[in-house]
């Protein structure tokens, strides 16, 4: 004799509800499309939309690989323990990523997580995102849980429009259509270089490395000093604890100089420093770091941004620095 539960499951399809009976008093109900069951070991099931499109392979205790298509995916993947953290790096052995690409992707991931951890540790409540481009940096911080204010600066017209659209639904993400520098002024920026737009001309090395530098479209932009916009950017924060991120393609020291004495307000900072000069007039890494250290910042992390494929030399690092005296007790 059917139980009331079984009668209900039998009746639901007549009402347009799809039923996937998993047994033991468990069922998946859906109105849009049928669901299929893919067993995962003895204790779990993967429920998918449609059928025959996923396969599951057990890698180790408590870890499975889910792949689209048919066949056994276990032979495609290998997993590497990350020290004694309990974390595992899953690598597609049939993939096309080379060692250089893998390192740079890992460095980007580690840098972003390192910064997010520092923002929490130091109680940062306002991130100055200088050289915001389309908002990639701010989006990464949000994905990692940073909920404080972000103030982004992007001077080029088309890119600022994209940035403004990205931030429009986030009331704590403020955007400004100008650049920052040593003096309030107007300037000409190379605006056709995608994420590498710069106020500086390319060096001979930069021209050899990037074809985009052969394009020459320029745009007039507004430049302001950082210390002239800080009060507005920090308005409403009872105890401001700002962090300065700069990615201005060779212009970071000019931005830094524009903070004047108010650079002491920042508990931390981040700058893209060059080992190999891509832009004429940009500082070398040791010169930039010396200026930052003279202002009381100390290195907490160095992450390669780009490498030469032929030699393995690092072209640029993301340098993360904090003011140790500002750390919570």
What pTM did the predictor assign? 0.80
Hey, what are 324's tokens?
A: 């140790």
For tokens 């060779």, the residue is 250
State the Cα–Cα distance between residues 260 and 94, nearest whole angstrom: 52
Closest by alpha carbon to 234, among 204, 274, 276, 262? 262
* 154 vs 180: CA distance, rounded Å: 9
Q: What's residue 59's pLDDT? A: 66
| Average pLDDT for 200-208 | 86
Residue 191, pLDDT > 70, answer: yes
The region of weakest confidence among 5-19, 63-77, 171-185 is 63-77
Q: What pLDDT, on a 0 to 100 scale, did the predictor assign at position 2?
A: 59
pLDDT score of 200: 82
List own/partner pairs for 4-10 with CB under 8 A and 24 or more apart: none
For residues 66-82, average pLDDT:
68
Domain locations along the chain: 4-75, 99-326
Q: Which residue has the higher pLDDT, 133 or 65?
A: 133
Q: Closest Cα partner for 128 from 233, 224, 261, 262?
A: 233
- What are the structure tokens assigned to 183, written together? 């003096």
Torsion sign (Cα): 274, 305, 303, 271: positive
Q: What percent of the chain has pLDDT over 70?
A: 89
Q: What is the pLDDT of residues 90-99, one digit of tens each?
A: 777 666 566 7
The pLDDT score that the predictor gives to residue 51 is 59
pLDDT value, residue 1: 46
Mean pLDDT of 103-109: 87
DSSP label of 207: H
Q: Provide the pLDDT confidence category of residue 193 given band limits of 50, 70 and 90.
A: confident
- Which stretch of DSSP H or E encloses residue 161? helix 157-167
pLDDT band with cut points at 50, 70 and 90 for residue 132:
very high
> Which class is domain 99-326?
alpha beta
pLDDT per residue as tens digits for the range 29-55: 887 777 777 776 666 777 777 655 666
Query: What are 256-301's pLDDT values in tens digits?
Result: 999 999 999 999 999 999 999 998 999 999 999 999 999 999 999 9
């Amino acid at each position: 004799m059917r139980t009331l539960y079984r009668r209900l499951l039998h009746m639901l399809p007549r009402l347009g509800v799809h039923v996937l009976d998993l047994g033991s008093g468990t069922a998946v109900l859906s109105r849009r499309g049928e669901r299929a069951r893919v067993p995962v070991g003895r204790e779990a099931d993967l429920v998918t939309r449609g059928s025959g499109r996923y396969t599951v392979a057990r890698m180790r205790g408590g870890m499975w690989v889910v792949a689209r298509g048919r066949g056994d995916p276990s032979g495609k993947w290998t997993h590497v323990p990350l020290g004694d953290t309990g974390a595992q790096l899953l690598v597609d052995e049939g993939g096309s990523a080379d060692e250089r690409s893998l390192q740079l992707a890992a460095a980007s991931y580690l840098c972003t997580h390192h910064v997010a951890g520092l923002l929490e540790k130091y109680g940062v409540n306002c991130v100055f995102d200088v050289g915001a481009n389309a908002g990639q940096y701010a989006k990464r911080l949000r994905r990692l849980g940073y909920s404080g204010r972000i103030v982004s600066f992007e001077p080029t017209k088309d890119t600022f429009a994209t940035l403004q659209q990205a931030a429009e639904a986030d009331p704590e993400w403020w955007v400004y259509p100008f650049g920052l520098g040593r003096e309030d002024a107007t300037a000409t920026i190379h605006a056709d270089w995608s994420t590498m737009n710069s106020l500086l001309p390319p060096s001979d090395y930069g021209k050899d490395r990037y074809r985009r530098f052969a394009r020459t479209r320029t745009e007039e932009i507004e430049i302001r000093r950082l210390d002239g916009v800080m009060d507005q950017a920090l308005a409403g924060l009872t105890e401001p604890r700002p962090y300065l991120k700069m990615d201005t393609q060779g212009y970071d020291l000019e931005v830094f100089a524009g903070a004047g004495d108010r650079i002491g307000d920042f508990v931390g900072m981040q700058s893209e420093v060059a080992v190999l000069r891509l832009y004429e007039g940009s500082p070398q890494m040791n010169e930039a770091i010396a200026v930052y250290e003279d202002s009381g910042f100390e290195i907490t992390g160095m992450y390669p941004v780009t490498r030469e494929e032929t030699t393995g030399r690092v072209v640029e690092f993301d340098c993360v620095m904090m003011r140790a005296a500002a750390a919570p007790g």
